[in-house]
Amino acid sequence: MQLENDIFDIHKDFKGGIVTLPTILVEVNKLYKLYKQQINYFIKLSYKIDYPRNRISQFLDRIVPVLNRGFVCLDSYQQLESNNNGVFDMNTFTRKQLICDMEKLSNLYMTVKYQVVNGY
Looking at residue 91, what DSSP letter applies?
A: G
What is the pLDDT averaged over residues 86-113? 88
At 116 the pLDDT is: 80
Q: Which residue has the higher pLDDT, 76 or 108?
A: 76
Are 32 and 65 in contact by the 8 Å Cβ rule? The answer is: no
Are 72 and 79 in contact by the 8 Å Cβ rule? The answer is: no
Distance from C-alpha of 9 to C-alpha of 98, rounded to nearest angstrom? 9
**Type of residue found at 101:** D
- CB atoms inside a 10 Å sphere around CB 115: 16
Checking if the pLDDT of 35 tops 80, the result is yes
What is the pLDDT averaged over residues 32-59? 95
Distance from C-alpha of 89 to C-alpha of 93, rounded to nearest angstrom? 7
DSSP, collapsed to helix, strand or coil, labels residue 45 as: helix
CA 41, 105, 90, 1 dihedral sign is negative
pLDDT cut 90: percent of the chain above it: 71
Number of domains comprising the chain: 1
Q: Residue 78 is part of which domain span?
A: 2-118
